[in-house]
Structure 1
Amino acid sequence: MSATPHAQRRGSRRNRIVAVAAGLATVGALAAAIPASAGEAKPAKTKPSRYQDVQLLSFNDLHGNLEPPAGSSGRVTELHEDGTTTTINAGGVEYLATHLRDARGDNPYSITAAAGDMVGASPLLSGLFHDEPTIEALNNLDLDVTSVGNHEFDEGAKELARLQKGGCHPAAGCYVKGKKFKGADFPYLAANVIENKTKKPLLKPYWVWKKNGVKIGFIGVTLEDTPGVVSAEGVKGLTFKDEVKTINKYAKELERQGVKSVVALIHEGGAPASTSYNYDCDSPGAGDGISGPIVDIAKNITPKVDALVTGHTHAAYACTIKDPSGKPRMVTSAASFGRLYTDTTLTYDRKTGDISRTAVKSANHVVTRDVAKAADMTDLINRWNTLAAPIGNRPIGYISADIPSTGTESPMGDLIADAQLAAGKKLDPETDLALMNPGGVRAPLTYAAKGSEGDGVVTYAEGFTVQPFSNTVNLQNFTGAQLVQILKEQVSGSNAASPKILLPSTGFTYTLDMTKTGADRIVVDSIKLNGAALDPAATYRVATNSFLAGGGDGITTLGLGTNDLVGGDDLAALEEYLLANSSAGNPIAPPAANRITIVS
């Protein structure tokens, strides 16, 4: 496989009709100048066939991962016929571009779509520049359309509007002298995100792709619970509506406009029964091959919608879920970080204007790193890396081994909690413990050298990839009874189906019994601080990041603390902790991740 030259991509694909028309005009002029032979037959016009296959290439949750993701974040699991599995290194926009371009080829009936979280929680290469590099890369990828995700709101609605429309950052300005950021040349869709002042969608609710009489509408929504997973400032002035009701509303509107083929881009997802990217959740005996919020959403979206491209859960699946009429409908997700892309065939019926559902086929494909890198993406990465290098290459600590970010209790999450406890104690020596949200731990720290970096060296860029949100470390007072309630809210209410297990700082321990349900999973008499049982009536000083301090992740009691004190940046806290507790000769070891005893 080889990369397609930049000049032959977006311009050629989208302007192909214009080019062909110009060519035909030239041929027509030449023909007019040459006398026609007597009795020469005119060429018969070819009538388009009734059924037209349309290729839909899709991905989701890129999160600004332009360079190949590190560790487990850059691998996928492949399932073999004999039941064994292997892991494959995957991802990196240089490879994603090559795979998409090769899959697309010269097919004029090809659409590329995404299901949100293209930016946000990004590595330093993109995040340092407010994700302008990722928007530039997506433009080069020929992305046609995407829904918004919750992370598109990390910096608020105004910043999202800037990413769409262009213009230099209001605080940072233009990163290259004389060069103004152009913005996305694809539409962001936000059908269920309503501006409270105008009562209208923040961005376009839908977009229609047209080619030679074929019309396919795309409706884009994000999860209704976005305010529960984004800082309050990021969603200020916005209301997030029900996904199903919104999609059904605009599917009717599209039908009134004569658009009967519809794809929903939904930033909400599910969990397949297997973590292998190629697991067949429709195979005999698979049963309910997928679970989670997307199942109920899919079952209730109008049959007018022909396929669902989803995201948010970072899972990989290509399953059918029955619509309200009982008819199977394709639902897909391509994991995250650009490790996979989905290739779906939509067979369009020119007579009815609808998709023939029986002909819909879909599969996920690995973005392997054994293909040629796309040269334009390499140039893009090098340009932005040159700007980022003075900041990103600065060492901030040393580790003795990989520090993983996965698992119910991740070593990386524990390390961050320890760093925030130390930061809290500097603010107030009476600080007792720290709690870290799992969703804020975006990547592992890897021991192996990267580029010119030595083994075990942690750079600022790597730290930024782990903690990219620019949260602050906040202190609050809680009673022991409130701390018990906080632990229960991790595994009950809105978190019952998908627990948000907080990572505790050293000295705070308890037992989590996953054989039980809801709040009963917390074994109350096991909760201890530095070996002593928690006193329900006592007051404890707790450090959290600003997201949790606002009651984030559905843990509302965290928003009820008293005696608030706002500290410094959370990444600065991690950097200070690593510098104080590690050196080249005495690197820090991964935490044992034994603070939560799990019964399963």
Structure 2
Amino acid sequence: MKNLLRPLCIALAAASLFSGCASRPQAPLELNVVALNDFHGNLEASKFNYTDKGQPATLAKAGGIDTIGAALQAWRAEDKDLMFVAAGDLVGATPAISSMWADEPALTALSMLGMDASAAGNHEFDQGRAELLRQQHGGCVSHRTGKACKLVPDFKGASFTYLAANVVDKATGKTLLPAYKIEEAKGVKVAFIGAVTKDTPSVVLASGIAGLSFLDEADSINKAMAEVRAKGATVFVVLIHEGGHTGEAFNEPDCKNLKGPIVGISKRLDPAIKLIISGHTHRGFQCKVDGRTITQAEMGGHVLSRIKLAVDPQSRELRDIAVRNVIMKPGEYPADPRIDAYLKLVKERSEAALARPVARVGAKSIGRKLTGAGEAPLGNLIADAVLDASQGEGVQIAFMNAGGMRKDLDVGDNLTATFGQAQVVLPFSNTIVVMDMTGAQIREVLEQQWIRAHADSHAAMLQASRGFSYAWDASKPNGQRVIPGSMKLNGVAIDEARSYRVAANNFLAEGGDGFPAFAAAANKRDTQIVDLDAFVGYLAKSDKAGKPAGSAEAAGRVERRN
């Protein structure tokens, strides 16, 4: 009997052993995602002013493709399946080292860095749909003939995929760009669904996006979910060029006070979407909203978001998300020789053109910061340059949008501006349009400074040329703030019934930036004078006349009362 029981005991012990193994939970699969946003062609490291959690404010150099490349190389050594994605505005409003070559260096660099996908941003549409598609697919057919394919003769296009689920071609009913891209890592299919702010038409040239509809972000993302599920995706990540803001530090874990458009969008998304990588507002955060993680890095490549996804090995569903926003400090990781060599090549090719002296100017720093009245020294200078370039067309008043001034004109103690320093001020290659506007229309466009849906203190106010002045009353309601009789041209009150010749860039002339009154102007003509050329020409002309242009102080053309 004893011998008969022995095999039974062994069998029971074995069953118990294997049963114990089967009941032990398996460790989750770890997927790694790295994200950036609002890169804006910042190939080189630049100043980063930040507040670390619990620390005083710090100013340091951060970013640059060499720094980012070194970090990615180190992180891929830890996980070869790492996925690198972005939330838009990779190009547009870029430093001269990229924009002077039609932003081909930025797209090439990001491709070399192994980017997989990015949401389209509003700045991807700055040069119109045709140029966006060229930047995606490559080629040299471009309206930017002086820039495209000049760095290399055979631009290949971005190797990563631009995504925009909510941008639809009206003629075909199909999305202009793919709505999503599915990546597979460790046997898990991860769907990245992209979208751009539906407000894009208000901040880009209307003619460049003719025939396109920018639909609701949440509805479009939710619509794509059925298709990615059908293709086997089990983890869903939104890449969206729309953001928010919070007073918490960029690296505060699970911040709780996020505000802005992204919050409302998040609340309407399919419950299976647990991770949103956002952009557009430039400021970093890593927040929780109703159980979802919404994360954003800092602009310019200063910070990357490192995101770890814990995925159930059986169901392949997302179980947990950990985010860490990491400052890209030069020298932290061993260099990637390929990226270093490419940056060196672009810098060498760009250096001579960027270093070319343009003119002596009136101050070592001519800034774009607005006074309480809404006027900036740099705005005065650019508006004067536009007026000067178009006076042959009979122009009497010129306007510049404050949001179009991307950097201060910083020239240093020698007071000599270089082409590169001028170019970063006006990187969009807008042209000057002249038009007829009545005095009433001019007043209307000024009133629109305070009623724009997306207005803020740094982007809403128009900058006016010399000779034009007005006063406004902050205590009055929107639409009634310009003080009657205060608009003057060379000291003479503007007649609301009379027609005046006005100049502005083509973006404003089409009603962009929330100024539809410009679109209603009569007798428009695009001079084809690029605003940067007008700016550089005015600086040189003023210097030659012995009167270097520009000041550190605003000219006082706008008066604020109350």
With structure 2 as the length reference, what TM-score do the two structures score? 0.86
1:376 alignment partner in structure 2 = 338
Identity percentage of aligned residues: 35
2:106 alignment partner in structure 1 = 134
Instruction: Give me the whole-angstrom Cα distance separating, in 1, the residues matched to 2:298 and 2:378.
Output: 21
Amino acid at match of 2:45: P
Query: Alpha carbon RMSD of aligned pairs, Å?
Result: 3.0
Kept in 2, the 8 Å contact 1:417–1:503? The answer is yes
Kept in 2, the 8 Å contact 1:510–1:597? The answer is yes
Give the deviation of 1:137 after TM superposition.
0.4
Q: 1:531 to 1:466 in 2, by over 3 A?
A: same
Deviations 1:62-100 (A, max 9, x none): 12121234xxxx322214526x42222323222222233
Alignment of 1:500 onto 2:477: no
Instruction: Give me the whole-angstrom Cα distance separating, in 2, the residues matched to 1:216 and 1:587.
Output: 57
With structure 1 as the length reference, what TM-score do the two structures score? 0.80
Q: 1:534 to 1:139 in 2, by over 3 A?
A: same
Q: 1:597 to 1:94 in 2, by over 3 A?
A: farther
Q: 1:509 to 1:68 in 2, by over 3 A?
A: farther
Bigger mean CA deviation after superposition, 535-544 or 406-415: 406-415
Alignment of 1:61 onto 2:38: yes
Q: 1:301 to 1:583 in 2, by over 3 A?
A: farther
Q: How does 1:260-339 map to 2 (within 5 A)?
A: 260-273=234-247, 277-278=250-251, 282=255, 289-322=257-290, 328-339=291-302
Kept in 2, the 8 Å contact 1:208–1:217? The answer is yes
2:389 alignment partner in structure 1 = 423
1:41 alignment partner in structure 2 = none
Three-state SS of the structure 1 residue aligned to 2:273 is coil
1:166 alignment partner in structure 2 = 138
Pick aligned residue for 1:243 from 211, 217, 220: 217
Instruction: Give me the whole-angstrom Cα distance separating, in 1, the residues matched to 2:239 and 2:289.
Output: 15
Pick aligned residue for 1:343 from 303, 306, 325: 306
Amino acid at match of 1:290: L
Give the deviation of 1:446 after TM superposition.
1.6
Amino acid at match of 2:381: L
Give the deviation of 1:544 after TM superposition.
0.5
Q: How does 1:161-560 map to 2 (within 5 A)?
A: 161-170=133-142, 171=145, 174-175=149-150, 180-273=154-247, 277-278=250-251, 282=255, 289-322=257-290, 328-356=291-319, 359-371=320-332, 374-399=336-361, 400-407=363-370, 409-428=375-394, 431-448=395-412, 455-495=414-454, 500-511=460-471, 518-519=478-479, 523=483, 526-560=486-520
Pick aligned residue for 1:580 from 532, 541, 549: 541
Bigger mean CA deviation after superposition, 569-578 or 521-530: 521-530
Give the deviation of 1:197 after TM superposition.
2.6
Kept in 2, the 8 Å contact 1:163–1:184? The answer is yes
Instruction: Give me the whole-angstrom Cα distance separating, in 2, the residues matched to 1:124 and 1:267.
Output: 23
Instruction: Give me the whole-angstrom Cα distance separating, in 1, the residues matched to 2:287 and 2:417.
Output: 40
Give the deviation of 1:557 after TM superposition.
0.7
Deviations 1:520-576 (A, max 9, x none): 555556544445544333333221001100110121111111132322111111011
Instruction: Give me the whole-angstrom Cα distance separating, in 1, the residues matched to 2:38 and 2:410.
Output: 22
Kept in 1, the 8 Å contact 2:81–2:186? The answer is no
Three-state SS of the structure 1 residue aligned to 2:38 is coil
Three-state SS of the structure 1 residue aligned to 2:192 is strand
Q: How does 1:16-165 map to 2 (within 5 A)?
A: 49-69=26-46, 74-79=47-52, 81=54, 84-165=56-137
Instruction: Give me the whole-angstrom Cα distance separating, in 2, the residues matched to 1:507 and 1:347.
Output: 63
Kept in 2, the 8 Å contact 1:496–1:518? The answer is no
Instruction: Give me the whole-angstrom Cα distance separating, in 1, the residues matched to 2:545 and 2:335.
Output: 34
1:32 alignment partner in structure 2 = none
Instruction: Give me the whole-angstrom Cα distance separating, in 2, the residues matched to 1:66 and 1:512.
Output: 42
Amino acid at match of 2:218: V
Give the deviation of 1:517 after TM superposition.
6.2
Give the deviation of 1:214 after TM superposition.
1.6
Kept in 2, the 8 Å contact 1:273–1:281? The answer is no
Q: 1:595 to 1:86 in 2, by over 3 A?
A: farther
Instruction: Give me the whole-angstrom Cα distance separating, in 1, the residues matched to 2:74 and 2:485.
Output: 59
Deviations 1:222-273 (A, max 9, x none): 1112222111232123222211110011123222333232111111122333
Structure 2 gap segments, 5+ residues each: 1-20
Three-state SS of the structure 2 residue aligned to 1:265 is strand
Q: 1:175 to 1:528 in 2, by over 3 A?
A: closer
Give the deviation of 1:103 after TM superposition.
4.2
Instruction: Give me the whole-angstrom Cα distance separating, in 1, the residues matched to 2:191 and 2:316.
Output: 11
Alignment of 1:566 onto 2:526: yes
Instruction: Give me the whole-angstrom Cα distance separating, in 2, the residues matched to 1:536 and 1:306.
Output: 55
Instruction: Give me the whole-angstrom Cα distance separating, in 2, the residues matched to 1:185 and 1:554.
Output: 34
Deviations 1:486-507 (A, max 9, x none): 1222221423577622222234
Give the deviation of 1:200 after TM superposition.
0.9
Amino acid at match of 1:425: Q
Q: 1:552 to 1:108 in 2, by over 3 A?
A: same
Three-state SS of the structure 2 residue aligned to 1:582 is helix
Amino acid at match of 1:258: G
Q: 1:216 to 1:433 in 2, by over 3 A?
A: same
Three-state SS of the structure 2 residue aligned to 1:421 is helix
2:4 alignment partner in structure 1 = none
Amino acid at match of 2:108: E
Kept in 2, the 8 Å contact 1:214–1:353? The answer is yes
